[in-house]
Chain A
Amino acid sequence: MQHAFATALGLVALLTAPALAADPDAGNWAAVVRAARGETVYFHAWGGEPRINDYITWASRRLEADYGVRLVQVKVEDTANVVSRILAERAAGRASDGGVDLVWINGENFAAMKREHLLLDENWAEELPNWRYVDSSKPVTVDFTVPTEGREAPWGTAQLTFYRDAARVPDPPRSAPALLDWVRQHPGRFTYPQPPDFTGSTFLKQLLIELVDDPSVLQKPADPAVFLKTAAPLFTYLDALNPLLWRSGRAFPHNAAALRTLVADGEVDIGFSFTPTEAASAVERGELPNSVRSFVFEKGTIGNVHFLAIPFNATARAGAMVAVNFLMSPEAQAEKLKPSVWGDFTVLDIDRLPPEKKALFERIDLGAPTLPPQAMGRALPEPHPSWMELVEAAWADRYGAQ
């Protein structure tokens, strides 16, 4: 009897919960926090990096304790699969009760989801309470030149950072032409992840920005008719570089982690990553030798912001907003910056924080292999996504099929 009563109560809760949770308004924050309590947020995030998974576990413990929100990470291999999943849900006519409540996203995937109206269609991100600390000097409202319009909230910043064993390469190359010279002297000791892998494509974009005559054209959509002419210096460069690569450019590593393994195994001498603290945390885990140090190019390297977005048919919208607001909080951002945790740079303006929150950041030791923020150099803006699609296609055409 007691059992039946509990079941009935559960059913009532099930029937009424969606009504309460429907269309939370980030402007009315107290109501959002109330509606979020008891919700389970399915957070689809790339799961290939154990440190990041551990950090998300930490965040979910805090969210559960402070807000009664259960944050469950769904580890995905490739964010594009999340896009196709939401697409499949729309194909099946599921306009609410979707399987994805929150997604870690940026760049081409965001552009695709925004264009296909697969995201929550309102400016919710800039209404969040912690938005006031966000560093507006960083590209937090533009994602690869596409305006975010509050459809996604900034979570962290990344900048292309190279690393090498300083005992082996004391004086690393600091520009694209210098890199080519170095590779000529050390054939077979450099490679990059095979595009369309994210890190490999970013390396190509870095070269593109450095090599084209006028980088400002890259901020506008690419014109396929003149693309090959504009990008000609890139392909002249790659024609010279690729035969000198690891395995003579006949095979490429699968992704940034595979590149790091090659550096660790001593197969190549220079690696790179989008996380400025990657080398430091790999040294800490014993994956790379202690003598590894980071470096960047003189004229700057590509920097961007990664975001959190809520799909149009998310089930736990209020819970997702509460989770995002927590992940943007000074506390969560400082924890994320620790190299022993993740080492991801913050999106907040530290100078704007109250003193006790500021202290959270000042206590953090970024580790010897990491460059101090002032030595990171200029963060170059991402080109418009259309450039990437054309570069990737041309790369596949020229080097992807031998």
Chain B
Amino acid sequence: MDPGLRNGAAAAARKRGCGERLLVLAPVFTTLALTIPVVAGLAGVLLPAFGYLPALGATSFSLKPFADLFAAPGLWTSLALSLGCGLAATAIAFAAVLLFLAGWGRTRFLQVVTALTSPLLAVPHAAAAIGLAFLIAPSGFLARLLSPWATGWARPPDLLVVHDPLGLAMVAGLAAKEIPFLLLMSLAALSQTGHARYMMVTGSLGYGRIAGFLLAVAPVLYARIRLPVYAVIAYATSVVDVAIVLGPTTPAPLAVRLVTWMGEPDLAMRLVASAGAVLQLGVTLLALLLWHLGERTANALCRAMAERGTRMARADRALAGASALPMTLAVVTIGSGIAVLALWSVAGPWFFPDALPQRLTLETWIRQGSMVARPLAISLAVGAAAAGIATLLVIACLANELVRARRPGRAAMILLYLPLIIPQVAFLFGLQILLIATGLDASFGALVAAHLVFVIPYVFLSLSDPWRGFDSRYEQAAAALGAGSWRRLVRVRLPMLTRPILTAAAVGFAVSVGLYLPTLLVAAGRLPTIATEAVALASGGDRRLLGVYALLQAVLPFIGFWIALAVPAMAFRHRNAMALP
């Protein structure tokens, strides 16, 4: 750490005010907000998994739920699907992002793609999946564009494209949806690695763009995005909504079957479902372990390649030429899927093989107009509250780390990712029982608290880098002018960080707007949001309505990001140096 900063911190420690002592509580409070729900939720499924659920008269511990679970037909296939599809989707998304950054780092095209992908991040997974399904199905948009003049199809052919037994459609959908997330995480991480210099060195040594990036930058980059990658693995191995829309059905991946068991009228199936939730946790952990082994292999390979010194110029050129392909494909696929859903929301009759609806109508929007008001208001209120509280907590944590001149360790970072790495289905049902027991369910406060579990990590991730990268010479100058540490924080650092702070809050807001399962379980359906309404409608398969809700859900985060851009632009309109770079 910078010695000047350490001296400053030591000086500050001597005359710590009341506000600073309160700051010490911030990490404690944040930790509790993140861990209590997860740990309580896990306990809430572990007990029934071993046969203990007093409400059903099951009060003795046994392994019967697990025996019943493994007797379910096709269970091993379901397990293999969850594991295989989850890992494949993560690997494809990760490789696409690395390849793109290697081939197009620091170009104008990268900026264009980044600008295009940010809004895709806000598109709900279920909507993206339904958009993709409609694009590629035998009766879908592409087939309609080409039929019957090119394909000769007057009727859609009977081809198993969506719901294929290997889960290829599901892998494609998951990979395409995770690519924007990994890209934005990587860009944030790259901004602090100084990778331009690495690339200059490898370039002068005769390495091509791809090899140079993979050998010199990727290891540094990966160390910084490892936890987001783990979060993607956890999500992809336990996903429910995307799997219902795109995944195999005979049998379905484990998480889908688990939710079906939770919903069986035979109440004894709750025990089997709990055992399934524990198994799901095991599958996700196994996937993480396998990935970790893959990390080591890849590391050894890269090292061997570097030591041998081969430049592989031809392969490098070929890869560089194709390096934008996977990324472009993902952006175009998700983007056009949403565009087609938007078209559905204003479509009159639209039958195969017509490429476009017979006529356009606003009927669906008008019919839904009065129905969306309440969910929209609740989404806004919960999102604003969760994002606001999370941002304050994260600022307090970061300020505390500044005052105490100590950064959180590895354990704290893992804790931060805990809610993202543990599959939601594995702990949310247990959390529901806990909330009901304390009488806190279905309250606005409980909903905001549940959202905080998922919002805090993202806010922390997006704010911590700009915060730590802040040029501390401004504060040294302020200190030299006699400003105390509180004053330096409030008058120098926070105003200068207005834009990243608002952006972090907007990220938190976007996450909150997209949360489905936590909202459904904690709010008990009494506080409907756009997300819960959209998924309830998705089960009815109506593309017109889904178009309305998917668009609303994608537009809401936009408002947040727009505020994050507009407010600093207004506030700093007389300060040239604060203008956007």
At the interface with chain A, which of B48-56, B300-308, B418-426, B572-580?
B48-56
Are A75 and B526 in touch, CB under 8 angstroms? no
Chain B proximity of A39: nearest CB distance (Å): 15
In whole angstroms, how far apart are the Cα atoms of A180 and B536 in the complex? 34
Are A247 and B267 in touch, CB under 8 angstroms? no
- Binary contact track A360-383/B, C-beta < 8 Å → 1, others 0: 000000000000000000000000
Q: Is A17 close to B, CB under 8 A?
A: no
Q: Is B264 close to A, CB under 8 A?
A: yes
Are A401 and B265 in touch, CB under 8 angstroms? no
Picked from A42, A83, A249, the residue with its CB within 8 Å of the CB of B265 is: A83
Chain A minimum-CB-distance residue to B520: A77
- Binary contact track B67-91/A, C-beta < 8 Å → 1, others 0: 0000011100100000000000000
Are A81 and B263 in touch, CB under 8 angstroms? yes
Are A76 and B525 in touch, CB under 8 angstroms? yes
Within 8 A of B (CB), among A222-278: 246-252, 254-255, 257-258, 260-262, 264-267
Q: Is A212 close to B, CB under 8 A?
A: no
Contacts of A93 in B (CB 8 A): 437
* CB < 8 Å A-B pair total: 178
Are A77 and B351 in touch, CB under 8 angstroms? no
Q: Is B500 close to A, CB under 8 A?
A: no
Q: Is A332 close to B, CB under 8 A?
A: no
At the interface with chain B, which of A6-14, A44-52, A321-329?
A44-52
Q: Is B349 close to A, CB under 8 A?
A: yes
Contacts of B368 in A (CB 8 A): 50
Known A48-B540, A400-B250: A83·B436 in contact at CB below 8 Å? no
Picked from A78, A196, A257, A401, the residue with its CB within 8 Å of the CB of B77 is: A401
- Binary contact track B539-566/A, C-beta < 8 Å → 1, others 0: 1111111000000000000000000000
In whole angstroms, how far apart are the Cα atoms of A107 and B248 in the complex? 28
Contacts of B524 in A (CB 8 A): 74, 85, 99
Q: Is B244 close to A, CB under 8 A?
A: yes
Within 8 A of A (CB), among B4-63: 53-56
Contacts of B525 in A (CB 8 A): 44, 74-76
Chain B minimum-CB-distance residue to A187: B158
In whole angstroms, how far apart are the Cα atoms of A291 and B266 in the complex? 41
Within 8 A of A (CB), among B213-244: 244
In whole angstroms, how far apart are the Cα atoms of A116 and B58 in the complex? 13
Contacts of A266 in B (CB 8 A): 139, 155-156, 351-352
Are A247 and B160 in touch, CB under 8 angstroms? yes
Within 8 A of A (CB), among B267-296: 267, 270
Picked from A77, A247, A252, the residue with its CB within 8 Å of the CB of B535 is: A77
Are A48 and B74 in touch, CB under 8 angstroms? no
Are A265 and B139 in touch, CB under 8 angstroms? yes
Chain A proximity of B523: nearest CB distance (Å): 9
In whole angstroms, how far apart are the Cα atoms of A89 and B438 in the complex? 10
Q: Is B163 close to A, CB under 8 A?
A: yes
Known A42-B526, A266-B139, A286-B349: A75·B542 in contact at CB below 8 Å? no
Within 8 A of A (CB), among B147-171: 155-156, 158, 160, 162-165
Contacts of A53 in B (CB 8 A): 371
Contacts of A246 in B (CB 8 A): 158
In whole angstroms, how far apart are the Cα atoms of A74 and B162 in the complex? 32
Are A257 and B541 in touch, CB under 8 angstroms? yes
Contacts of A94 in B (CB 8 A): 436, 439
Q: Is B433 close to A, CB under 8 A?
A: yes
Known A80-B263, A250-B250: A47·B536 in contact at CB below 8 Å? yes
Q: Is B383 close to A, CB under 8 A?
A: no
Chain B minimum-CB-distance residue to A246: B158
In whole angstroms, how far apart are the Cα atoms of A254 and B536 in the complex? 13
Q: Is B260 close to A, CB under 8 A?
A: yes
Known A88-B433, A99-B526, A109-B265: A255·B539 in contact at CB below 8 Å? yes
Chain A minimum-CB-distance residue to B244: A254
Are B55 and A91 in touch, CB under 8 angstroms? yes
Within 8 A of B (CB), among A274-294: 286-287, 289
In whole angstroms, how far apart are the Cα atoms of A389 and B350 in the complex? 39
Contacts of A401 in B (CB 8 A): 73-74, 77, 250-251
Picked from B74, B543, B545, the residue with its CB within 8 Å of the CB of A400 is: B74
Q: Is B348 close to A, CB under 8 A?
A: yes
Instruction: List B residues at the A interface (Cβ < 8 Å).
Output: 53-56, 72-74, 77, 137-139, 155-156, 158, 160, 162-165, 244, 248-251, 260, 262-267, 270, 347-352, 361, 367-368, 371, 432-433, 436-437, 439, 441-442, 520, 524-526, 528, 532-533, 535-537, 539-545
Q: List 6 A-B contacts (CB under 8 A).
A: A50-B540, A74-B528, A80-B263, A108-B265, A257-B540, A265-B156
Instruction: List A residues at the B interface (Cβ < 8 Å).
Output: 42, 44, 47-50, 53-54, 57, 72, 74-78, 80-81, 83-85, 87-94, 99, 107-109, 111-112, 116, 187-189, 194, 196, 246-252, 254-255, 257-258, 260-262, 264-267, 286-287, 289, 389, 396-397, 399-402
